């Protein structure tokens, strides 16, 4: 059956009332594979909100790599988690901007018609960790739209009320949908985990990528000096506009990347190249970094540990190049360095970070906006590494630029990025 998605901008129901069916881009367990085949358009039942839940009409959705993993069924199937077993479908999408459409029992802070963005951390209200430690420590913690279904690649999504944040007024729908997952992750890493201070020196890997563009802006906003690592001069130019103190093209140091399976001589040569890189970092920052912002993993981690100053911190949230890390631990213990793990952000961090977007102290960096008919194609671009920055998908919004209710600079348009 073909599904008509030509007019998602006009709905037959008013806020407070839900239609029975909606269009959604769905992954199913029996068709795992490349996104272009695995993510398919279907008509599904619209969910009803449970207690403390909200149904949001999605105006725009942000594309992230986690839905590529979900489509591939790798490294493990998302159908083992959350509400997947009961629904049998995975509607991905961990970033959204939209309009509150219906609220569940107990929700008092939001009402139909409110304009919102969504952060992607979920945890059960009943877990004690939520009420004194951190929702990220709760056994029930999940990333919405990845470890749960009812994500943002649909006309309506279902979220916990605590996931909602006011939509920044000067942003269009597609700009507002583009930043949450990566920005809030970078915020927790630098502000709460590494506790950067004015005057600190920071080294940022992948600084023109999804996380890096926000890490760079956060350093600038906090008064910390930062050097970003990139793979082209165009990306370096983007960093200059974001407030970086300097940048390094990693192609000048190809030998420093850890590949695994090296001979002792190769390791020695790599170490020498890493030292040369660290020297360059020190020249640009005026000393070794207090903090290294890590997410590349295997290829760069030995250099990160070597480079960070004694008593300094390496904060890490990912491992794009491989998650089995090895490094010379003597540089860690002798110099009393710290490694800090970090994962997404809690509602308070997301709220604080979102206020910086509202005041334009930090701005989204958007590469491309695509139509709702292109959700699978957008994920295939990520899968093939052909993307050049963040992609937003128009869902309920008819055209780019809609949704602004105040004047402001809006997003930075990136010609370069990830
Ligand atoms: N735990 C969490 O909550 C969380 C949240 C968000 C993201 N992540 C993870 O963090 C990682 C980065 O996410 P992202 O959104 O920033 O991705 P991205 O937009 O693809 O950017 C990553 C950047 O890393 C650099 N890079 C890639 N491979 C590299 C290598 N071998 N050596 C050096 N640099 C390399 C690239 O920049 P250059 O080519 O310019 O150097 C790339 O642009 C992913 O693995 C993601 O899954 C985790």
Q: How far apart are CA 145 and CA 133, in angstroms?
A: 24
- Residue 39's H or E segment, with its range, is none
User: What's the gap in Å between 385 CA and the centre of ligand 1?
Assistant: 11
Q: Residues lining ligand 1, CB < 6 A?
A: 65, 181-182, 185, 205-206, 208-212, 229-231, 235, 250, 257, 295-296, 299-300, 317-318, 320-321, 343-344, 418
Whose C-alpha lies nearest to ligand 1, atom 24?
A: 206
Q: Is 237 exposed, middle or buried (0-12, 13-18, 19+ CB in 10 A)?
A: middle
Q: What pLDDT was estimated at residue 418?
A: 41
Alpha carbon of 6 to ligand 1 centroid (Å): 34
pLDDT at 403 over 60: yes
Cα–chain center distance at 358: 18
Q: What does the block give as tokens for 153?
A: 């690649």
CA of 11 to the centre of ligand 1 (A): 38
Distance 103 CA to ligand 1 centre (A): 36
* Predicted confidence (pLDDT) at residue 417 exceeds the cutoff of 50: no
Task: Kindly indicate whether the domain formed by 184-341 is annotated with CATH number 3.40.50.720.
Answer: yes
Burial category of 257 from C-beta neighbours within 10 Å (exposed 0-12, middle 13-18, buried 19 and up): middle
Helix count and strand count (H, E) for the chain: 12, 19
- Interval between CA 295 and ligand 1 midpoint (Å): 6
Q: Return the CATH fold of 21-179+364-413.
A: Quinone Oxidoreductase; Chain A, domain 1 (3.90.180)
Quote the pLDDT of residue 387. Answer: 78
For the cut 80, the answer to whether the pLDDT of residue 346 exceeds it is: yes
Domain ranges for the chain, please list them. Answer: 21-179+364-413, 184-341
pLDDT digits (tens, 9 = 90+) for 29-66: 999 999 999 999 999 999 999 999 999 999 999 999 99
**Closest protein CA for atom 45 of ligand 1:** 320
State which ligand 1 atom lies nearest to the alpha carbon of 418: 43
What is the position in ligand 1's atom list of the atom closest to the CA of 321? 31
140 C-alpha to ligand 1 centroid (Å): 26
For residue 42, give the 3-state DSSP assignment: strand
Residue range 349-357: average pLDDT? Answer: 98
Contact 94, 62 (CB under 8 A): yes
pLDDT for 386: 80
pLDDT recorded at residue 324: 92
Task: Please give the average per-residue pLDDT across 88-117, as a whole number.
Answer: 98
Q: Is 406 exposed, middle or buried (0-12, 13-18, 19+ CB in 10 A)?
A: exposed
Whole-model pTM?
Answer: 0.97
For 116-131, how does the pLDDT look when each residue is reduced to its tens digit (9 = 90+)? 999 999 999 999 999 9
Check residue 416 and give its pLDDT.
Answer: 60
- For ligand 1, the distance from its centroid to the CA atom of residue 117, given in whole angstroms, is 23
Cite the beta strand spans of 180-224 per DSSP E: 201-204
Please identify, by atom number, the ligand 1 atom nearest to the C-alpha of residue 257: 32
pLDDT at 414: 81
State residue 1's pLDDT score.
61
- With CA atoms as reference, report the closest residue to 307 among 233, 235, 230, 201: 201
Nearest alpha carbon, ligand 1 atom 33: 296
Q: Which of 96-105, 277-286, 368-377, 383-392 has the lowest mean pLDDT?
A: 383-392
Average pLDDT in the 190-203 region? 98
Q: What is the mean pLDDT of residues 364-376?
A: 96
Q: At what angle do helices 212-222 and 233-242 cross, to 10 degrees?
A: 40
- Specify burial of residue 49 (Cβ count, 10 A radius: 0-12, 13-18, 19+): buried
264-298 in b/e burial notation, b at 16+ Cβ within 10 A?
eeeeeebbebbeebbebbbebbeebbbbbbbbbbb
Structure token pair of residue 118: 């969504």
Judged against a pLDDT cut of 90, whether residue 362 lies above it is answered with yes
């Amino acid at each position: 059956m073909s599904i008509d998605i030509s007019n998602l901008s006009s709905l037959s129901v008013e806020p407070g009332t839900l239609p029975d069916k909606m269009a959604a881009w769905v992954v199913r367990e029996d068709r795992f594979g490349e996104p272009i085949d695995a993510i398919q358009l279907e008509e599904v039942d619209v969910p009803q909100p449970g207690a403390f839940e909200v149904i949001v009409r999605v105006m725009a959705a942000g594309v992230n790599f986690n839905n590529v993993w979900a489509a591939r069924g790798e490294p493990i199937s998302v159908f083992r988690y959350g509400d997947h077993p009961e629904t049998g479908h995975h509607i991905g999408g961990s970033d959204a901007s939209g309009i509150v459409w219906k609220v569940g029992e107990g929700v008092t802070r939001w009402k139909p018609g409110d304009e919102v963005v969504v952060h992607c951390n979920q945890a059960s209200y009943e877990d004690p960790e939520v009420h004194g430690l951190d929702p990220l420590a709760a056994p029930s913690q999940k990333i919405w739209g990845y470890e749960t279904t009812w994500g943002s690649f649909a006309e309506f999504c279902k979220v916990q009320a605590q996931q909602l944040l006011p939509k920044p007024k000067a942003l269009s729908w597609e700009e507002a949908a583009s930043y949450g997952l990566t920005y809030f992750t970078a915020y927790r890493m630098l502000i709460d985990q590494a506790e950067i201070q004015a005057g600190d020196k920071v080294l940022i890997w992948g600084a023109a990528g999804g996380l890096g563009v926000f890490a760079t802006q956060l350093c600038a906003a906090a008064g910390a000096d930062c050097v970003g690592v990139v793979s082209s001069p165009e990306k370096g130019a983007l960093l200059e506009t974001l407030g970086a103190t300097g940048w390094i093209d990693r192609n000048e140091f190809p030998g420093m990347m850890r590949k695994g399976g090296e001979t002792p001589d190769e390791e020695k040569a790599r170490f020498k190249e890493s030292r040369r890189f660290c020297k360059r970092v020190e020249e640009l920052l005026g000393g070794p970094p207090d903090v290294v912002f890590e997410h590349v993993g295997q290829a760069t981690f030995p250099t990160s540990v070597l480079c960070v100053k004694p008593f300094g911190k390496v904060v890490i949230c990912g491992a794009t190049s491989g998650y089995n890390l090895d490094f010379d631990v003597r540089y860690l213990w002798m110099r009393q360095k710290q490694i800090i793990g970090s994962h997404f952000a809690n509602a308070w961090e997301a709220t604080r970070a979102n206020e910086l977007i509202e005041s334009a102290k930090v701005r989204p960096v958007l590469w491309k906006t695509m139509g709702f008919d292109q959700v699978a194609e957008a994920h295939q671009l990520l899968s093939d590494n052909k993307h050049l920055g963040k992609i937003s998908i128009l869902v309920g919004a008819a055209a780019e630029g809609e949704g602004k209710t105040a004047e402001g600079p809006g997003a930075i348009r990136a010609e370069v990025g990830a």
